[in-house]
Amino acid sequence: MAQKGEQEVQGPLEALAAAAQGQKGLPPVHLWNPPLCADIGLKIARDGSWWHQGAPIARPALVTLFASVLRRDPDGYFLVTPVEKVPIAVEDAPFLAVSVRESAGELIFRTNLNDEVRVDADHPLRFELGDSGGLKPYLRVRADLWALLTRALAYDLMDRAETRQMNGREVIGVASGTHFFVMEDGGAPQQA
């Protein structure tokens, strides 16, 4: 039974959950090309919360399950199973980085869904201009799925920032292991 404020899983959402269950590890969503299904009102809000038809999906296990079959295609975000592809609206990024720790000189972030991501060439930091003109940091979680860093973590990155000479100019960035991520709009990782 759903608790107050929780959306009961019904109809297409229930079918999607059933199709996504039973996988060990992350399923190979990049290999699946099922037909596109109707929009059933799924959304990931800017704060990382998941919604269905205007109500929050309050069961963490269900959100984690759906996140495991999330894919970004050129025409948007989708939950993908071998038999269906359901569109999902994403307000900013599908994940939110909520904590960071350092181990052996490498930054390791934890997302709102408890994924641990080590910052490296395959999981870089990138920076975009926000609406207010400041830089918004993102971390690649997997494939083309990114996590927006919380404001507190953005300030933490600023505290870790250092200045280096690169390509004849002085840049500010953050190091993780042997990689250096320039803190500018579209900054690309550089080998340290």
- What percent of the chain shows pLDDT beyond 90? 75
Where does a domain end: 59, 90, 121?
A: 90
* Residues 115 and 187 grouped into a single domain: yes
Report the domain count for the chain.
Answer: 2
Instruction: Compute, in degrees rounded to 10, the torsion defined by CA atoms 38, 41, 44, 50.
Output: -120
* Domain ranges, residue 144: 95-191
* Residues 26 and 114 grouped into a single domain: no
Which CATH number belongs to the domain containing residue 122 in this structure? 2.30.270.10
* Residues 83 and 164 grouped into a single domain: no
Which CATH number belongs to the domain containing residue 37 in this structure? 3.10.540.10
* Residues 136 and 81 grouped into a single domain: no
Where does a domain end: 46, 63, 90?
A: 90
* Residues 75 and 126 grouped into a single domain: no
**pLDDT given for residue 192 in this prediction:** 54
Where does a domain end: 55, 90, 125?
A: 90
Residue 25 neighbours by CB under 8 Å, 6+ apart? none
**pLDDT given for residue 19 in this prediction:** 52
Q: In 3D, which of 70, 83, 80 has the Cα closest to residue 145?
A: 70
**pLDDT given for residue 133 in this prediction:** 78
* Residues 121 and 86 grouped into a single domain: no
Q: Which residues of the chain have pLDDT under 70?
A: 1-24, 185-192
Residue 3 lies in a domain: no
Whole-model pTM above 0.75? yes
Output b/e per residue, 102-139; b: 16+ Cβ within 10 A: eeeeebbbebbbebebebeeebbbbbbeeeeeebbbbb
Residue 5 lies in a domain: no
